[in-house]
Amino acid sequence: VSGAYALGEWVRGPGEDLGVFRYHCGCEYRVTAPPAKEGALPYFEFDQDNFPICRATFALLASGRTKGVFQLESSLGRHWTKRLRPENADQIGALGAILRPGCLKAKSEDGVSMTERFCRRKNREEEAEAYHPALAPILSSTFQVITYQEQLMRMGKELAGFDLVEVDKLRKAVGKKDQQELAKVKTLFLAGCTRLGIVTDEQAATIWGWIEKSGRYLFNRSHSQSYGLLGYSTAYLKTHDPVSFFANWLYYAKDKSDPREEISELVADAKLLDQPVEPPDIRDLEERVSTDMVAVRFGLCDVREVGPSRVEKLRRAAEAAEAVLGRPLREWTWEEFLFHCGHETGHAATTGWIAVGAFRWTGKKRARLLNEYRAWAKLTEAERKWVLANCRPADGVTAALRAVGRPKKDGGGAANKNRVALLQGEVKFLEDPPASEADWPNQVAADEEHYLGVALTCSRVEACDLGEVNCTCKEFLAGRVGKLALGVRVCSVRVIKTKKGDKMAFLSVEDASCGMDDVCVFPEAWERYEGVLRVNNNVLLRGGKDPKKDSFVVDRVYQL
Ligand SMILES: [Zn+2]
């Protein structure tokens, strides 16, 4: 099963009724038009203000595959979403609050961060016991961890009898850490608690201690909740309409602070979710990322150094040639394209398009296309016209160059001896190219990375000797256990210090199948292999699944 039908099925209705699309998670939508293409979703509308509660969406969040999910897409966000495993929009909202640096740094007496405390209690790894019965209802939605400013304000009101003005003073003083103001509010708070007598003076002092400390990380609940809803909406769309999701996110990747990183993360994530992402296709004449609702395809201007004017020129040349050939661009051969449009597209754009596979429909090797284009580009205007008048595209580029490269007196198109020598030199080159015209994975991947920002059709890892590899990233994520050997590229390295003060690292890696986070290198291995585990290095990782967690634990590393 592929495409939309991996997500659910279209249950056609009787007669004119197009029926419903029924997702495996239980979500259902009334279909308004049949799918645009085999394997695509039929048309229906999501109610964007009111997404249903859906187990598939929460499963996506719990898996930590939150690339593109509002507020949760950084590697920190992916890590903590997986750790928390949120079960409702409230908890997704709380993630926005507990992911903030203040909360991650704020430690309880036992050295555990407030973020970790929240996760442990939510997942019932420790008791969420209320310090005092009066605090229980105030902190119940956050497992008795002070998380929001609103909770602080309620504490002022209910324990110390503060009115709205005083409560606001409390919020401001704690947030700003103004020592003088804080001392004033503290006196008021303790006096209020004594007056109401709900908590003892000693308890009031303890609670004040937490309030003061919480100032460093509190966030407001209303804000968190609206973020949470937006986060849920994006996760829902990613789960239910991945093709539109990735098409849109890739389209706007250019606006991110690091577009290349964004593109490469999105593509790795799409691979993992079985969403095909393809290089541009010259025949589409699309400038930017687009989709036929089955695959997502890069556009011609997503290739480095190609601007819209280049595509516009090509469009006009193609229209003119379509009239001459009597067939649409989509039905042309490579030679027809080259003869009629090859001079309009410009050197930089054409070599870029060839290198990323925009001509893969021709079935020819990219290296061969490049050689033929470079030879063709040497023709003068007059020689090109001569070829169009005298040669058949079906005979091939080499034959056309051989014919035009003869002197005019012999019936050719070359104006002088120099032109004859140059063109016959090109013929020799095409007949017997000095370098192999195979498409080596290493070269294809490097070209795609250079021109598009990401390797789509293969990975540089594939060029390495992968004889020892017995598992892909995707297979590992799907649950493979045992002694494993992965052949991967290191994408990022995060080094941390353990409680004992030793260094260890978490890696993000990728191979042709997909990318994965949370590859764990414990101190002993890190000390040994730090030099090899560098970003962009291709390595063989021997190791296996951590029995307690989902992560891959590295035992040995070899340079590939
Ligand atoms: Zn659903």
What pLDDT tens digit does each residue of the chain (560 aa) get? 567 888 999 999 998 899 999 999 999 999 999 998 999 999 999 998 889 999 999 999 999 899 999 999 888 899 899 999 999 988 999 998 888 888 888 887 788 888 999 999 999 999 998 999 999 999 999 999 989 999 999 999 999 999 999 999 998 888 887 788 889 999 999 999 999 999 999 999 999 988 888 877 788 898 899 999 999 999 999 999 999 999 999 999 999 998 888 998 899 889 888 899 999 999 999 999 999 999 999 999 999 989 999 999 999 999 999 999 999 999 999 999 999 999 988 999 999 999 999 999 999 999 999 999 999 999 999 999 999 999 999 999 999 999 999 999 999 999 999 999 999 999 999 999 988 898 888 889 889 989 998 888 877 777 777 788 999 998 998 888 899 999 998 988 989 888 888 999 999 898 888 888 879 999 999 999 999 999 889 999 999 998 877 789 999 999 88
Distance between CA atoms of residues 72 and 227, nearest Å: 10
Distance between CA atoms of residues 67 and 263, nearest Å: 11
pLDDT in the model for residue 187:
94
Using the mean position of ligand 1's atoms as its centre, give its distance from the Cα of residue 195 in Å. 52
Using the mean position of ligand 1's atoms as its centre, give its distance from the Cα of residue 425 in Å. 63
Q: For 193, how many CA atoms within 13 A lie in the half-sphere containing its CB?
A: 20
Distance between CA atoms of residues 507 and 509, nearest Å: 6
Of 453, 444, 439, 442, nearest to 305 by C-alpha is 453
Using the mean position of ligand 1's atoms as its centre, give its distance from the Cα of residue 263 in Å. 26
pLDDT in the model for residue 2:
64
Of 350, 334, 183, nearest to 280 by C-alpha is 350
Using the mean position of ligand 1's atoms as its centre, give its distance from the Cα of residue 54 in Å. 4
Using the mean position of ligand 1's atoms as its centre, give its distance from the Cα of residue 15 in Å. 27
Q: What ranges in 346-390 are assigned the alpha helix state H?
A: 347-356, 366-376, 381-390
Using the mean position of ligand 1's atoms as its centre, give its distance from the Cα of residue 27 in Å. 4
The model's pTM is 0.85
CA gyration radius, the chain: 31
Q: What would the pLDDT profile of 206-230 be if each residue is shown by its tens digit?
A: 999 888 888 777 888 988 999 999 9
pLDDT in the model for residue 515:
83
Q: What would the pLDDT profile of 392-426 be if each residue is shown by its tens digit?
A: 999 999 999 999 999 999 999 999 999 999 999 99
Using the mean position of ligand 1's atoms as its centre, give its distance from the Cα of residue 368 in Å. 47
Using the mean position of ligand 1's atoms as its centre, give its distance from the Cα of residue 55 in Å. 6
Say how many C-beta atoms besides its own lie within 10 A of residue 331's C-beta: 11
SS (H, E, C) 86-137: CCCHHHHHHHHHHCCHHHHHCECCCCCEHHHHHHHHHCCCCCCCCCCCCCHH
Using the mean position of ligand 1's atoms as its centre, give its distance from the Cα of residue 465 in Å. 42
pLDDT in the model for residue 1:
53
Using the mean position of ligand 1's atoms as its centre, give its distance from the Cα of residue 119 in Å. 25
